[in-house]
C-alpha cells in the first residue's frame, strides 16, 4: 500500500504519523514545477525529506517541458526514490492551464513532458493518471501504453474520470484492462478507506498494489488495518496522542501561526466521524496559537469519547 501525494496534506508530519502504523511507500505533496524553479518559499517544506524516511517519491506538475527540465535541475540537491508526473489533478485552475488531468487528452504534449523527465531526472520516473472513459477502456489503455513506451517505471491509475472529482463509482474494470496490457507495475487508486474497500479494489482491478489517498487523512491507522485485519481501531487516548504529535510537529516545521493555520483541517480530520461532538469540533476554527491548541487538546481528552 502506497500513500498518495496529496496537495496540502502529505508533508513530513503527515507522513511520519502514517509511517508509525506501517506506511513505507510515500510521496511528497504535489508540487508545481514553477514553484520549484522560482523557489517559492512554501515549496521548501513540501520538498523536505526526513532523515528517518525509508522511501519517498516526489510528484511534480506542469504542462511545459522546458520548465520541467529546469525544475529537475533545481531538485538535484534533494534525494528521492522516484519522481512522479501528475496527469490526474482535476482542479479547474490546473486543468485550465493544460496540466494535470488535461494532459490525458493531449498525449503528445504529455509524452514530451515525460521525455524530459526520463532523460534528465536522476531518479526513476513514474506517472499518475485518471481514466478517460468510465465504460470504454480503450482510450485509457492507449494513453497508458504510450506512457509505458516513453520509459516510465510504474503507473498509478485513479479509477474516476476528471469530471467525477472524488465522487461516483471507481471504474476498477478500466484499471484492470490497463493492468492486463502493461508490463510495468500498475497501482490502483480511488475509494480506499478501509480494508473492505481495499480488498474490493484489489479484486476488481487485479492489481496487487494499491494507493491510499483521502482515506489516510486523519486516519494513519489505515495502514495498520490494511496490514492486519484483526488490528483494533484506534482508541480515544491514541487518537488524542497522535493528533497532538502531528500538530506539534507542524508547528515546529512551519512556525506557530502558519503551522496552526495548516493544522486546523488536520485536527478536524482526526475528529470527524468518530463521535466527537459538533460543538467541540466547532472550536477548531478559533485556534490560532499553541496555548489555545493545548487547551483544545485537553478538552478533547476530557470528552471521554470512546469510538466504536
Q: Which three cell numbers stand for residue 306?
A: 470512546
Out of 18, 23, 89, 150, the active site residue is 89
- How far is it, in rounded angstroms, from Cα 110 to Cα 279? 48
Backbone angles phi, psi at 57, to 5 degrees: -105, 160
Which residues touch 3 (CB under 8 Å, ≥6 apart)?
Answer: 10, 15, 18, 23, 25, 26, 27, 211, 212, 216, 223
Helix or strand or coil: residue 135? coil
- How far is it, in rounded angstroms, from Cα 218 to Cα 211? 16
- How far is it, in rounded angstroms, from Cα 157 to Cα 95? 18
- How far is it, in rounded angstroms, from Cα 128 to Cα 153? 11
Cα separation of the two ends of the chain: 25
**What's the residue count for the chain?**
308
Is the Cβ–Cβ distance between 117 and 71 less than 8 Å? Answer: no
240 is catalytic: no
Q: How far is CA 169 from the centre of its chain?
A: 19
Catalytic positions, please?
89
Amino acid at each position: 500500500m502506497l500513500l498518495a501525494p496529496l496537495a496540502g496534506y502529505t508533508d513530513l508530519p503527515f507522513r511520519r504519523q502514517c509511517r508509525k502504523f506501517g506506511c513505507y511507500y510515500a510521496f511528497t505533496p504535489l508540487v508545481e514545477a514553477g514553484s520549484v524553479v522560482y523557489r517559492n518559499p512554501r515549496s521548501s517544506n513540501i520538498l523536505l525529506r526526513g532523515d528517518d524516511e525509508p522511501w519517498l517519491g516526489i510528484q511534480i506538475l506542469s504542462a511545459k517541458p522546458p520548465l520541467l527540465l529546469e525544475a529537475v535541475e533545481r531538485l538535484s540537491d534533494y534525494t528521492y526514490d522516484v519522481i512522479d508526473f501528475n496527469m490526474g489533478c482535476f482542479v479547474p485552475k490546473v486543468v485550465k492551464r493544460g496540466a494535470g488531468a488535461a494532459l490525458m487528452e493531449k498525449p503528445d504534449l504529455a509524452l514530451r513532458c515525460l521525455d524530459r523527465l526520463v532523460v534528465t531526472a536522476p531518479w526513476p520516473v513514474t506517472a499518475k493518471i485518471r481514466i478517460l472513459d468510465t465504460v470504454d477502456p480503450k482510450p485509457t489503455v492507449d494513453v497508458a501504453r504510450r506512457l509505458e513506451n516513453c520509459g516510465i517505471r510504474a503507473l498509478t491509475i485513479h479509477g474516476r474520470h476528471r469530471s467525477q472529482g472524488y465522487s461516483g463509482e471507481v471504474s476498477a474494470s478500466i484499471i484492470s484492462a490497463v493492468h492486463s496490457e502493461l508490463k510495468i507495475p500498475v497501482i490502483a487508486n480511488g475509494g480506499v478507506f478501509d480494508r473492505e474497500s481495499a480488498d474490493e479494489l484489489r479484486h476488481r482491478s487485479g492489481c496487487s498494489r494499491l494507493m491510499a489517498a483521502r482515506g489516510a487523512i486523519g486516519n494513519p491507522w489505515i495502514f495498520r488495518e490494511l496490514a492486519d485485519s484483526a488490528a483494533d481501531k484506534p482508541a480515544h487516548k491514541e487518537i488524542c496522542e497522535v493528533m497532538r504529535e502531528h500538530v506539534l510537529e507542524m508547528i515546529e516545521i512551519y512556525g506557530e501561526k502558519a503551522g496552526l493555520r495548516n493544522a486546523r483541517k488536520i485536527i478536524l480530520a482526526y475528529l470527524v466521524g468518530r463521535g466527537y461532538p459538533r460543538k467541540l469540533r466547532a472550536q477548531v476554527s478559533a485556534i490560532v496559537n499553541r496555548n489555545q491548541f493545548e487547551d483544545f487538546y485537553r478538552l478533547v481528552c476530557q470528552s471521554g469519547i470512546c469510538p466504536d
